[in-house]
Chains A and B, each alone.
Chain A
């Protein structure tokens, strides 16, 4: 494992989960793995935080969970983005873009 792995930036875990789920329904491990892969292992998601976040998002109505049969007779809990979850993703993503863009511009102006 590369040493550059860090925890997710505080406050962005929900956004990352929603974005990941916008492609297709996934189970917890799949989400964690995908976040790590896409971030090129910059972010490391720990299962405690991930599952807590998923429980929170489910209660907020942004995702829905169901048990699905997977390979070799195993069951996994799959999470699906709901319609209001998708809307939440749009607003959160736009907000993030706006804020990170601003940070970026500030950093660049320092050069």
Chain B
């Protein structure tokens, strides 16, 4: 209550300063008047009484000031008057203010944008209760890397582990809603009953899954996302218990997830259904395929390490109740890591590099504005000297100058928020696919606080050097010679700053260059196929009509035929697996005559179930033997084409043609190698030695429900998008076509993380170049202005224009070269942060560094040339007369 009074009193004084002052003056005057009156009554004369009262009670002005100073509002008052002065100054130097505010807005805006992206993705915990207890559990592949788990493993671990409260698995599920418009494929997940419990999120409407829902041949049920519920069902609460038709089958809606639910494993999933896998199954069934993502919630107190240790223990003590298969025997243990680390891991290096880049940019912005302030400080020496002469203390002047820079930075920060808003939109648009928490990236309260804090800090840091510099020294002397512009000490400080700017710019340029080279060398690695003039899309079959293999085979065949007839189509083919699509499907290989124990494998290979023209359409080159032919639809063993790496690992000593092996589930027929082709990059352009097996689609134990259609075109592949789609829909209107893309775009997207970092660094480097150019131009130009007199004298004494041009240019270049040398050292350090993003280029690649240096020096020379030319054109008569 007393604080409230304190505030309200202070505020009243601030708002009605004049009235408050009048009151105070009157009270003090009244006091002294009464004091004098008393003295008069003791016999003093009027004049003496006043003098005596004054000597006894003090100067009324002093008394008033003393009382005024006591309230908190006084400090605020000084700040307000400082702000008023600062605002006036900034308005007067409009061009300075505009340039500084824009520069600051760029720096603060870029940092805020990057912060808003990094904050939810890297810094904040995932949006689940006790998110630190949620972990992912992955099986270990033959190469030691993580692979998805099998349902069999999940079933055993769920029953036997004690370090988890719950475990759940999920599988991608893409049901199709058919209706009046184009058939729409939804992104969803088939999940085990505890999936939402592991995440700790419950539906807001209706209920989630319980164990009874997740039984083989159980009821068909779904839970909807809030987005889907609003979009498709008008946020109707009575939807719960009603049926929706997916893939031609009715599903009962159980519940709706909250709008805030962020499903980080599959961020765009909108619908969930129970997994409903079999409870007992043989080794050939899908339950033993590595295709499930497993997550678990640790018991409180248990760590990921405890969990993986317990899993190893369980792995070593098989029980008869849970039979295992050789490819899922947990012999290598399991990889347990926090869900956050798992989903954030792939984008982490790129985000950290970008954060480092924005820090460099912010530093450059600060150096640049400091530089501008110093230049302005030189012009303000007269004004500051006047203030000092009128009695302003040094601290008072520093405070005034700092108020000015903080105000400047805050204006810059406010504009920076606009920059940040645009930047965030660009970041989200550019961000690589699969970045988690993207929905949470935005200008939230934390980003605002960050922008405010950065602005204030930048304002203080930027102002401190010019303020100390400006308030230093003999101000009176500069009051005398305010018309004569001697070369002051601040030029020294400005030179240092220009050197720093050059160094920072070179660091950014070099990092951008290294990323550029990496991306170039990645895209230069052969993918194993010719991506130009290729259009790809996935054709899905949904609904009971295409449920059996033979109708589906017929459908696929008529699709191929129709598409091939389109003008502009050279060839077309189907495949179960498309290179660089992000999908992976591999099966175990057992060579004929292999000595391994029953069921043991000789490695794994990717399965490509294709139509005969596939290898030709993709232009995958033949190394030995022959490609697949329509005639391979019959024949035992199955004619098969394999990749070079397959041959290298399976038959290190000899020719592979005619060799036999078993591939896939036990029910698959024996394969015989008829041809060897080049390796194809399936997972990423960076992977090497992927082993591939190609067989005709019809020779696999089952026909996939979805197939990739690849179309080689004579012209621009994108132009055929609509004709191909329409051709397919002319056969069946209800079949969705998804993931449509040119093959070239797919190749580009496969390296999205690096490209993301590259684009941002390119933008930063460009801004850095501009800032460096402005910086060195400003210093040289200011120097020329201040040295007009000297240059005039030189010119009068016979220096030619060319000599003066060289003099100024030389000065600028000396600064640039010093900056470049420091920048090289800095870049050598900074590039360490990029190492994990680099490919095919050393972080100390001399060519990249040389290019950066050359580019920077050319820009610097151009920026120096303008002031130098102005100096060379100095007319001695005019300069000398003007002084």
Contacts and interface: CB of A to CB of B under 8 A. Distances in A.
Contact of A59 (B6, B24, B27, B31): B6
Given A60-B2, A60-B5, A77-B23, A51 B30 contact: no
Interface string A39-62: 000000011110110011011110
B5 A48 contact: no
Given A60-B2, A61-B1, A47 B63 contact: yes
Contact of A75 (B26, B56, B66): B26
B31 A47 contact: yes
A55 B30 contact: no
B contacts with A: majority SS: helix
B30 A76 contact: yes
B31 A28 contact: yes
A29 B38 CA distance: 10
B57 A46 contact: yes
Contacts, number: 65
A74 interface: yes
B67 A52 contact: yes
B804 to A, nearest CB: 64
A27 B58 contact: no
A20 B71 CA distance: 24
A52 B70 contact: yes
Contacts of B33: 74
A33 interface: yes
A51 B70 CA distance: 10
A55 B20 CA distance: 12
A contacts with B: majority SS: helix
Given A58-B9, A59-B6, A75-B26, A47 B32 contact: yes
B70 A55 contact: yes
A17 B30 CA distance: 18
B58 A46 contact: yes
B26 A47 contact: no
A94 B600 CA distance: 94
Contacts of B28: 47, 51
A48 B67 contact: yes
A49 B58 CA distance: 11
A51 B63 CA distance: 9
A74 B9 contact: no
B57 A55 contact: no
Nearest to B13: A55
Interface string A56-99: 10111100000000000011110000000000000000000000
B9 A77 contact: no
Interface string A20-36: 00000001110011000
Given A29-B35, A55-B71, A60-B5, A48 B30 contact: no
B530 to A, nearest CB: 83
B30 A74 contact: yes
Contacts of A74: 30, 33
A55 B63 CA distance: 13
Contacts of A32: 31
Contacts of B9: 58-59
A67 B35 CA distance: 19
A27 B32 CA distance: 12
A51 B27 contact: yes
Contact of A28 (B6, B27, B66, B70): B27
Nearest to A28: B31
A48 B2 contact: no
B interface, size bucket: 20 to 34
A33 B57 CA distance: 12
Interface string B4-36: 011001100000000000011011101111110
A64 B434 CA distance: 67
A45 to B, nearest CB: 9
A61 B5 contact: yes
Contacts of B66: 48-49, 51-52
Nearest to B23: A77
Contacts of A33: 38
A28 B31 CA distance: 7
Given A60-B2, A60-B5, A48 B58 contact: yes
A29 B28 CA distance: 9
A53 B314 CA distance: 78
Nearest to B9: A59
B55 to A, nearest CB: 11
Q: Which of A28, A47, A49, A59 has the most B CB atoms < 10 Å from its CB?
A: A47
B12 to A, nearest CB: 11
Contacts of A48: 58, 62-63, 66-67
B67 A29 contact: no
A47 B2 contact: no
A32 B66 CA distance: 17
A111 to B, nearest CB: 37
B662 to A, nearest CB: 92
A55 B32 CA distance: 18
Contacts of A58: 9
Contacts of A28: 27, 30-31
A12 B33 CA distance: 26
Contacts of A46: 57-58
Q: Which of B1, B10, B62, B66 has the most A CB atoms < 10 Å from its CB?
A: B66
Nearest to A52: B70
A50 B57 CA distance: 11
A22 to B, nearest CB: 20
B34 A29 contact: yes
Interface in B670-718: none
B224 to A, nearest CB: 59
Contacts of B62: 48
Given A48-B58, A48-B62, A75-B30, A55 B23 contact: no
Nearest to B24: A51
Contacts of B10: 59
Nearest to B52: A1
A27 B63 CA distance: 16
Contacts of A27: 30-31, 34
A56 B32 contact: no
Given A46-B58, A47-B57, A47-B58, A55 B2 contact: no
Contacts of A52: 66-67, 70
B1 A56 contact: no
Contact of A51 (B5, B6, B31, B38): B31
Given A48-B58, A48-B63, A52-B66, A29 B30 contact: yes
A29 B5 contact: no
Contacts of A76: 27, 30, 34
Nearest to B65: A48
Contacts of A56: 70
A33 B26 CA distance: 19
A89 B23 CA distance: 27
Given A27-B30, A46-B58, A59 B23 contact: no
Contacts of A51: 24, 27-28, 31, 63, 66-67
Given A46-B57, A59-B6, A60-B6, 7 more contacts: A48-B63, A51-B67, A55-B71, A58-B9, A59-B5, A74-B30, A76-B30
Counting from the closest, the 8 A-B pairs by CB-CB distance are A48-B66, A29-B34, A52-B70, A48-B63, A51-B67, A59-B6, A29-B31, A59-B9
30 contacts: A27-B31, A27-B34, A29-B30, A29-B31, A29-B34, A46-B57, A47-B31, A47-B32, A47-B57, A47-B58, A47-B63, A48-B62, A48-B66, A48-B67, A51-B24, A51-B27, A51-B31, A51-B66, A52-B66, A52-B67, A55-B71, A58-B9, A59-B2, A59-B71, A61-B2, A74-B33, A75-B26, A76-B34, A77-B26, A77-B27
